[in-house]
Homo-oligomer: A and B are copies of this chain.
Amino acid sequence: MNLFENVPTHLPSELIEVLAEGESVRIERIVSTGHSTDPGEWYDQEQNEWVVVLKGETRLRFSDDKVISMQPGDHLLIPAHQRHRVDWTTPKEPTIWLAIFFEKVSGTFLEE
């Protein structure tokens, strides 16, 4: 029951574990070990996603070509159907994400 334990260092693909789930929400831990989204592929999700990087490092790309670098503690709200992809995760250590998928968002996208 600790996000920083049982972290594989080499994975054939990203490791996704559902930590808790309700009717309209899903909380996942995701571990990436240098993974990125396949070339030309984009995520286009039905649900909103709030995501935080807890360890490691990543770069996300959005369909308007905006690129966001994320370090531990950095968090972001990705509204439903905002097309995005993982351009890069560090190969130096596992990247641990926490992702919360949910419906009917309020709040502002990429507010600083």
Interface residues of A (CB under 8 A from B): 1-5, 19-25, 27, 48, 50, 52, 54, 71-77, 98, 100, 102-107, 111-112
Contacts and interface: CB of A to CB of B under 8 A. Distances in A.
Contacts of A77: 20
A103 B23 contact: yes
Nearest to A48: B22
Given A1-B74, A4-B72, A20-B107, A52 B98 contact: yes
Contacts of A111: 1
A23 B25 CA distance: 10
A21 B107 contact: yes
Given A27-B50, A112-B1, A22 B75 contact: no
A49 to B, nearest CB: 10
Nearest to A107: B20
Contacts of A100: 20, 25, 27, 100
Nearest to A24: B24
Contact of A22 (B1, B21, B74, B105): B105
A76 B22 contact: no
